[in-house]
Amino acid sequence: MSEIPKAYEPQAVESKWYQYWLEQKCFAADPARVSAKRPAYSIVIPPPNVTGMLHMGHVLNNTIQDILARKARMDGKEVLWLPGTDHAGIATQAVVEKTLIKQGQIRHRDDLGRDKFLEKVWEWKAKHGDIIIEQLKKLGASCDWGRERFTMDPEYSKCVQRVFVDLYRKGLIYRGKRMVNWDPSARTALSDEEVEMIETKGHLWHFKYPLLDDQDRPRTDAFVVVATTRPETMLGDEAVAVNPRDERYTHLVGRRILLPLQNKPIPLIADDLVDPTFGTGCVKVTPAHDPADYEMAVRHKLPFTVVIGPDGRMTPEAGAAFATLTRDQARKAVVAAMEQAGLLLKIEDYVHNVGHSQRSHVPIEPYLSEQWFLRYPSQAAARACVADGTMQFFPDRWAKVFDHWMGNLRDWCISRQLWWGHRVPVWTRRVPTTDTTMRMRRDRARVCATLVELARNGGAASEECPLFEDSWSGVEDHRTFWRVRGESGTDTEWEAATFSELEARALEAEGWVQDPDVLDTWFSSWLWPFATMGWPERTPALEAFYPTTDLVTGPDIIFFWVARMIMAGYEYMGDLPFRNVYFTGIIRDKQGRKMSKSLGNSPDPLALIARYGADALRFGTMRSAPLGQDVLFDEKDVELGRNFCNKLWNACRFRQMQGGAIEDEIDPALLTSDDKWILRRLDRAIREIDDAFAGYRFNEATATLYRFFWSEYCDWYVEASKAALQSGRSDNPSDPPGARAPDPDAAAAARRRANTLAVIDFVLSHTLRLFHPFLPFITEELWHGMNYHADLPIDQGGHTIMDARWPKPLDPAFCEHYGLDETAEQVASAKYELVGVGRNFRREFNLASNRKLQFVLKPAGDLPPAEVEVIRLLLNAETIEVHRAYTPPKGTPMAANALGELYLPLAGLIDSAAERARLEKELEKARLEVGKVAAKLGNPQFTQRVPPAVLEEHTKRLADWQAKEKQILTSLNNLPE
């Protein structure tokens, strides 16, 4: 570092050290190293979508994880940060299909067929799947890349199938015809969590439905009026419902109504679901297109007429006039037709919430279809662990949200009508009902199921039917289960669930056909904390690193992912998957809007890294991200980070320029008040940072680092230390010629200088370590550049700052030895206070910053010349004359405190009117404060009840302000005229 540049240039430094860390395998976790003395620390990454590009949310999230991981390493832990990606079923399939269409290769994925299309997706994954991983590396992420996992890896896929079959066997996974959330754009079912309610301005259309008379003839004089927000669904109406206690309509219940446009008689039914106070109290019932209506239809055994198809277009059932129209077109057409028929009573403006697909943002269509559902396992354990504090959430208010959701669990629709994903491991076949093979298979499965239950409840499993391959995982050895799906005529339709490749092939040879659906991506990522570590084997990694320590994720996936992982963890590991969950805020733009591609308000983190450096991006982001609050991102924050790195760089450069070897022996006898002051500030900073880490308050840690390093170390200590550094220089230009000869004064100055360098080295080497989790690259560069790694054991920083030991607060013995008491700190503080006022004179009297001034100091007590020299330097004064019996000329500006009185004699130069104004302002302030404190102390309630420390502090404060007031009055009296 002999010729270090004036400004820090991050690019080369960052790539160099990342390469070094990889080559030296610094990120690799070894379960064998875990011991009582070296505890494990683990995080699994929230797997980003394999289609994804790094965005600011990833930056926030992964910077936090990296900070935690690096801090844990410095704490001497064996750290596993396990990376990977998920396959993101809908998003990836959509991107690939869109790309192929854009390239003109296909018009629809059907043109290729399932197998060929999947080949294309894999090709695409091979080409683009690593992008986000490489981007994470640019950020400095210290993941154990050798353990990178992908949710579609063969082993991982096997875990997904295994879990599916297990839950199927337990009866928790079932297939059923249900009303599901259908995304007509992606053409797949979604889970409830994937539906976003959006407040939408719409209308409430009021339709008249004619009553039928006894001969089923429509009456022209009697109608029921229904209101709807979705006129197009009326084509599928099967009833009109009223509340059974609604006396306006009880006489009509059981009568028939003519459904207009379809000219179909439908009944008027009574159901408790109907709110008699809303609208007319009559509700049209569309069994196949509304979840509430569906329930009513089941109760009243109504038919299910499907008028909207899976593509969001009207079906032939909707009638010739409407078939093939889109939902929107059909809405207009129905309204027009009703109006023409004179059955449109009125249209009201209406604001209501409409479910939209979180994926494609189109309105969700409630759709009746066959899907796979899961009744969640291990609900009680999952709910309890958060409620009783076994697992902690940061901030903990999310615990309440979690608990509410856990208390209202509804079965999870896990099947998706996609090709990209884990295909449902179920095969079906129709066989003659008389076929005995299937009966035998089923009976065997039943026996096993019973024994599984027995074993789970503490009973013994028989030896003929060893159920558990591994009792730890709780998944039984039997890989195939059969169930009757349905019977028709002489045939029985069977289904078989298996995770055995061999079984599956055997079944297919027998003519069994696999279910076409794939599983929700979250059905694979809920296994992430253990499926990535070799489950169901009892691997060393699982033994060492499960449960993981911390999870860092966004609150937007608390249900999608966090809650489900907890349930899966209990079900398959018998233990929680992580001990702490840190929920980040959401990154927004300056206007507070969410970052989104369509708004184009999402900055590219890679561009920011190129411009400012990864450390700058990390520091800026962390500094502006308080725990659990959303972050309004501003590029200024990154600029601040860069400036900070530059400051750090130059502070080290300054030390380099002082020359000399690393000084590690500090002589207590030679410590100045400034030395003691900065050492105590360092101690305080370490304590604050430790405290911040304990509460996951990273922004607080960065604030402390910033204040300590910039305001305390650079602004005060470094400037003050220049006194000792300059006077002790062997090449001091002010030395008289011939000063080479042994000179006791010069030797003493040189010793003081060396001691100052030792303090600087002590502080800087601590500072670099405190900064390392936040600024990994620049700290590593400086660690080596400053030679602080020399002489350290290889596993304690000799090799990399990553392994350097985390600084400890200074222990009492150390403080005692070096005399770091409060008095020492107070001397320095008083010095800086005096300097502050002295500097203010320049502004008050319009004296240019570079103008050489001569001050006079009238010390209150004993003030060594070295201290005076520090004050001179800090004031940028030409001279300070120490004068114990000084009588200032009238009107000389003066500042005073415990240290003494500082005068700026400027005969004839100062504007006494301005000085009077200044002093009067000061006086006003002092009197105000005296008044405030005196009032408090005058209150007996206060003096009697307050803790002694507070009382003492107030008493002192009063004395201070009174002294100040007196001094200002003196100065005022001294003014000319």
Partner RNA sequence: GCGCGCUUAGCUCAGUGGAAGAGCACUUCCUUCACACGGAAGGGGUCGCAGGUUCAAGUCCUGCAGCGCGCACCA
Within positions 612 to 631, which residues make up the interface with RNA, using CB under 7 A?
624, 626, 629-631
Rounded to the nearest whole angstrom, what is the least distance from the CB of residue 861 to RNA in the complex?
21
Site for RNA in 632-651 (CB under 7 A): 632, 634, 636, 640, 642-643, 645-647, 650-651
Taking residue 813's Cβ as centre, other Cβ atoms within 10 Å add up to 8
Site for RNA in 799-858 (CB under 7 A): 836, 839-840, 842-843, 846, 848-850
Site for RNA in 291-310 (CB under 7 A): 291-292
Site string for RNA, 418-457 (x = CB under 7 A): ----------------------------------------
DSSP 258-310: EETTTTEEEEEEE-TTS-TTSTTS-EEE-TTT-HHHHHHHHHHT------B-T
Residue type (1 letter), 972 = L
Answer for the pair 50, 86: CB distance below 8 angstroms, yes or no. Answer: yes
Rounded to the nearest whole angstrom, what is the least distance from the CB of residue 849 to RNA in the complex?
3
Rounded to the nearest whole angstrom, what is the least distance from the CB of residue 636 to RNA in the complex?
5
Q: Which of 267, 276, 540, 819 binds RNA (CB under 7 A)?
A: 276
Rounded to the nearest whole angstrom, what is the least distance from the CB of residue 657 to RNA in the complex?
5
Nearest-CA neighbor of 755 among 826, 675, 680? 675
Rounded to the nearest whole angstrom, what is the least distance from the CB of residue 125 to RNA in the complex?
30
Report DSSP state, residue 557.
G
* Cα 507 from Cα 505, distance rounded (Å): 5
Phi, psi at 329, each rounded to 5°: -65, -45
Q: Is 941 helix (H, G, I), strand (E, B) or coil?
A: helix
Site string for RNA, 892-931 (x = CB under 7 A): -------------------------------------x--
Rounded to the nearest whole angstrom, what is the least distance from the CB of residue 909 to RNA in the complex?
15
Site string for RNA, 649-668 (x = CB under 7 A): -xx-xx--x-----------
Looking at beta carbons only, is 390 or 596 nearer to RNA? 596
Rounded to the nearest whole angstrom, what is the least distance from the CB of residue 605 to RNA in the complex?
18
Looking at beta carbons only, is 22 or 401 nearer to RNA? 401
Site for RNA in 377-406 (CB under 7 A): 397, 400-401, 404-405
Site for RNA in 218-247 (CB under 7 A): 226-230
* Cα 757 from Cα 786, distance rounded (Å): 12
Residue 475 is encoded by which pair of tokens? 């998944």
Contact region with RNA (CB under 7 A), list: 274-282, 432-440, 482-490, 667-675: 274-282
Rounded to the nearest whole angstrom, what is the least distance from the CB of residue 69 to RNA in the complex?
23
Number of residues engaging RNA in binding (CB under 7 A): 92
By CB under 7 A, tell whether 408 contacts RNA.
yes
Residue 163 is encoded by which pair of tokens? 């879990």
Residue 862 CB partners (closer than 8 Å, separation 6+): none
Looking at beta carbons only, is 784 or 842 nearer to RNA? 842
How many alpha carbons lie under 13 Å from residue 870 in its C-beta half-sphere? 25
Phi, psi at 70, each rounded to 5°: -70, -40
Answer for the pair 369, 180: CB distance below 8 angstroms, yes or no. Answer: yes
Taking residue 510's Cβ as centre, other Cβ atoms within 10 Å add up to 12
Site string for RNA, 936-965 (x = CB under 7 A): x--x-xx--xxx--x--xx--x--xx----
* Cα 64 from Cα 45, distance rounded (Å): 11
Q: Is 887 helix (H, G, I), strand (E, B) or coil?
A: coil
Looking at beta carbons only, is 176 or 291 nearer to RNA? 291
Q: How far apart are the first and last CA of the chain?
A: 61
Answer for the pair 473, 135: CB distance below 8 angstroms, yes or no. Answer: no
Rounded to the nearest whole angstrom, what is the least distance from the CB of residue 706 to RNA in the complex?
6
CA trace torsion 454, 455, 459, 465 (10° rounding): 90
Nearest-CA neighbor of 770 among 761, 762, 779, 778? 779
Nearest-CA neighbor of 902 among 911, 893, 910? 893
Q: Which of 270, 387, 703, 882 binds RNA (CB under 7 A)?
A: 703
By CB under 7 A, tell whether 367 contacts RNA.
no
Q: Is 720 helix (H, G, I), strand (E, B) or coil?
A: helix
How many alpha carbons lie under 13 Å from residue 175 in its C-beta half-sphere? 21
By CB under 7 A, tell whether 876 contacts RNA.
yes
Sign (positive or negative) of CA dihedral 394, 397, 402, 403: positive
Q: Which of 1, 28, 197, 790 binds RNA (CB under 7 A)?
A: 197
Looking at beta carbons only, is 24 or 629 nearer to RNA? 629
Peptide bond into 547 cis (omega under 30): yes
Rounded to the nearest whole angstrom, what is the least distance from the CB of residue 691 to RNA in the complex?
8
Looking at beta carbons only, is 197 or 484 nearer to RNA? 197
Looking at beta carbons only, is 468 or 654 nearer to RNA? 654
Contact region with RNA (CB under 7 A), list: 281-289, 672-680, 768-776, 790-798: 281-289
Rounded to the nearest whole angstrom, what is the least distance from the CB of residue 768 to RNA in the complex?
14
By CB under 7 A, tell whether 196 contacts RNA.
yes
Rounded to the nearest whole angstrom, what is the least distance from the CB of residue 679 to RNA in the complex?
18
Rounded to the nearest whole angstrom, what is the least distance from the CB of residue 873 to RNA in the complex?
10
Site for RNA in 704-763 (CB under 7 A): 706-707, 710-711, 714-715, 718-719
Site string for RNA, 549-588 (x = CB under 7 A): ----------x-----------------------------
Q: Among all chains, which residue has been given the structure tokens 């003050």? A: 720
Q: How far is C-alpha 252 from the chain's CA centre?
A: 57
Looking at beta carbons only, is 245 or 352 nearer to RNA? 352
Looking at beta carbons only, is 884 or 956 nearer to RNA? 956
Looking at beta carbons only, is 8 or 522 nearer to RNA? 8
Q: Are strands 283-285 and 239-242 parallel, antiparallel or unpaired?
A: antiparallel
Report DSSP state, residue 377.
S
Rounded to the nearest whole angstrom, what is the least distance from the CB of residue 663 to RNA in the complex?
18
Q: Is 374 helix (H, G, I), strand (E, B) or coil?
A: strand
Site for RNA in 251-270 (CB under 7 A): none
By CB under 7 A, tell whether 866 contacts RNA.
no
Q: What letters, b where the CB count within 10 A reaches 16 and e where it falls short, cover 59-85?
A: bbbbbbbbbbbbbbbbebbbbbbbbbb
Site for RNA in 136-155 (CB under 7 A): none
Looking at beta carbons only, is 339 or 493 nearer to RNA? 339
Phi, psi at 653, each rounded to 5°: -60, -40
Looking at beta carbons only, is 144 or 194 nearer to RNA? 194
Rounded to the nearest whole angstrom, what is the least distance from the CB of residue 511 to RNA in the complex?
42
Site for RNA in 494-553 (CB under 7 A): none
* Cα 376 from Cα 192, distance rounded (Å): 14
Looking at beta carbons only, is 7 or 440 nearer to RNA? 7
Looking at beta carbons only, is 281 or 905 nearer to RNA? 281
Answer for the pair 17, 781: CB distance below 8 angstroms, yes or no. Answer: yes
Site string for RNA, 588-607 (x = CB under 7 A): --x-x---------------
Nearest-CA neighbor of 693 among 594, 635, 617, 627? 627
Contact region with RNA (CB under 7 A), list: 147-155, 702-710, 745-753, 776-784: 702-710
Looking at beta carbons only, is 490 or 941 nearer to RNA? 941
Rounded to the nearest whole angstrom, what is the least distance from the CB of residue 432 to RNA in the complex?
43
Beta strands, E only, 525-622: 548-553, 578-583, 587-588
Taking residue 303's Cβ as centre, other Cβ atoms within 10 Å add up to 11
Answer for the pair 210, 260: CB distance below 8 angstroms, yes or no. Answer: yes
* Cα 895 from Cα 918, distance rounded (Å): 12
Residue 352 is encoded by which pair of tokens? 């209501």
